Structure 1
């Protein structure tokens, strides 16, 4: 089945280069009308220019597609609301959000200024929140929406020198989990994409033999599936170099250690059993933790 976005309208943030540009071009090539959003700043978020977004719009139009440029900072909720209104005024709907805008301000936690920590959270996490919040009533009213949040292996598994980035990226997984539950009745499907790709944000971090195979275009197939009519929901796909994996937040079978003065010592003695991944599950929602703990309790009676 060919993925077709004809008649759909997509907003792609951070689309002036790298992954976002590839996402915008791919959606347009398959028929979507695209809002190409990019602040046009440096990797650390400083500066700004609409030029990068306008170049991508020109590429899309030259290939016969439809696109408009937008230079809003995703950290400015008012500007994000205006971007959504721009799309509505131009095309009357928004079907897809690919929340891709991001910055890096890497340092070890000991050396990191809290302002740099906060700014990375503002762009990655609050930027995505602003876009989702501005689009939620639109997608709810039309009873259709596809949201792709850009997470990272740094958030899922950690990476030296990126506490701010990792915290923001894992927070997006938490955002996805509940938005997907709340959006289900209106057919709003929310997923996460963790890319491994060579962009200006990552080219200095990757070994030479990855530079050719791990271009941003190799991540696009996973994005298109997550943004499509046939998309899953509450799914985190990891993609790079032609490979695709799924990441899950799991819950082990666990062990009952009870309460009382000796409970800490019992837990320490059974910690390996608690952490044993055999039989682990992917909870359908947060209440399943309590359900599992109730099962452990009842097994002791």
Structure 2
């Protein structure tokens, strides 16, 4: 059993839905939980946790407000002395086809999902490094991984979180910080009237939360995008095909298209260990060996 006794978690956007389910499960396993949200939902979830014998504090504030996020972290450290887990769950929707979307709605969604996660992660990063322990979960989405009509703003923000996670997992490794993404499938108002009730019931938020619990455990993996919904759990990977090498020349573009089947052949695809792996891969096909690395 995963025991979080003595650990401290911050869950953003936890006044309802997925965030509430995450907060309740973490508290059930012994964690002291900061429930962050904009409104009264945060107090309601804290009351639920306290009634069940757990420990929780509410903090109302927007993840887009840097000062508010820093105050939340300071308040948590003052009360409980450490922060072990951060679940970046807060988010909003402003769905519309790109042709009809106002730039303000694009910017707002990116601010909440991406920059909100950046603000919260930055605020806890030094504490986790000093502790030599940290677990951070970003909330991505199939809309970012695979696209979804009418969600260019949401998809862009959600895929950006995958890139954020990939780099932080590398940078946090030597400090005992493990960083992962969760891509949840849960019933929302958007799905009402589209799926029958029995299917919506299988997409309850509580069926996603075990994935979050696994990703904050002491033996959690790192640098993983874990998909979850209806009791199903899968890993999404960004892969690199073997591809081809084309000699420099006037018809290089035409050669690419002529050999497109070889470019896209997935039989020998790999999962790069870091961004520089692509450069090594391409240079090796050109007859060179790249042995360097990027970053420290």
TM-score tier (shorter): over 0.9
For 2:9 and 2:161, locate their aligned partners in 1 and report how far apart those are by CA, in whole Å: 20
Distance 1:151 1:117, change over 3 A: same
| 2:206 aligned with 1:207 | no
TM-score (norm 1): 0.93
Deviation at 1:261, TM superposition (A): 1.1
Decide whether the 8 Å contact of 1:150 with 1:193 is kept in 2. yes
For 1:267 and 1:196, locate their aligned partners in 2 and report how far apart those are by CA, in whole Å: 37
* Structure 2: segments with no counterpart, 5+ residues: 289-296
| 1:1-301 equivalence runs, <5 A | 2-39=1-38, 49=39, 51-200=40-189, 202-204=190-192, 206-208=194-196, 209-298=198-287
In structure 1, the residue matched to 2:292 is none
Decide whether the 8 Å contact of 1:12 with 1:100 is kept in 2. yes
For 2:147 and 2:188, locate their aligned partners in 1 and report how far apart those are by CA, in whole Å: 19
SS in 1 for 2:287: helix
SS in 1 for 2:180: strand
TM-score (norm 2): 0.95
* Structure 1: segments with no counterpart, 5+ residues: 40-48
Decide whether the 8 Å contact of 1:198 with 1:206 is kept in 2. no
Structure 1: which 4+ aligned runs deviate by more than 4 Å?
A: none
Aligned length in residues: 287
Decide whether the 8 Å contact of 1:13 with 1:38 is kept in 2. yes
Deviation at 1:199, TM superposition (A): 3.4
For 1:116 and 1:77, locate their aligned partners in 2 and report how far apart those are by CA, in whole Å: 20
Deviation at 1:170, TM superposition (A): 0.4
